[in-house]
């Protein structure tokens, strides 16, 4: 299990060994939407917007102190970057 904090600019998460996870907004989180960016390289970057199989941008609605399952589409990426619509802190827990 891995956890980390994400800000508005997003930290790179190595998803190569994971198949699921949750993200939880901090108690002071004011962000409402997360947008996901992926990198298929062996090291993070460059990042591109992540889209699902229908071509829709992968986003997630979030709230303070609420744990939300990460979209399954993110686990096709080797590296993931998450961008919030405003500066915020999150905890990410991943499972293999």
pLDDT per residue as tens digits for the range 46-89: 889 999 999 999 999 999 999 999 999 999 999 998 888 888 88
Q: How confident is the model at residue 33 (pLDDT cuts 50, 70, 90)?
A: very high
Domain residues of the chain, as ranges?
5-95
Q: What is the pTM of this model?
A: 0.85
CA 11 to CA 44: how far, in whole Å? 10
Backbone angles phi and psi of 80, in degrees to 5? -130, 140
Q: How confident is the model at residue 34 (pLDDT cuts 50, 70, 90)?
A: very high
Count of residues making up the chain:
96
Give every CB contact of residue 54 below 8 A, 6+ residues apart in sequence. none
Task: Give the Å distances, CA to CA, from 19 to 34, 78, 89.
Answer: 19, 11, 22
Backbone angles phi and psi of 70, in degrees to 5? -70, 145
Q: Does the pLDDT at position 2 exceed 80?
A: no
């Amino acid at each position: 299990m891995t956890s980390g904090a994400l800000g508005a600019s997003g930290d790179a998460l190595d998803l190569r060994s994971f198949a699921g996870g949750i993200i939880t907004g901090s108690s002071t989180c004011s962000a409402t939407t997360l947008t996901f960016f992926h990198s298929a390289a062996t090291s993070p970057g460059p990042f591109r917007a992540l889209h699902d199989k229908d071509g829709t941008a992968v986003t997630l609605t979030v709230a303070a102190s609420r744990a939300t399952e990460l979209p399954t589409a993110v686990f096709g990426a080797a590296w993931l970057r998450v961008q919030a619509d405003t500066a915020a802190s999150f905890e990410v827990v991943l499972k293999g």
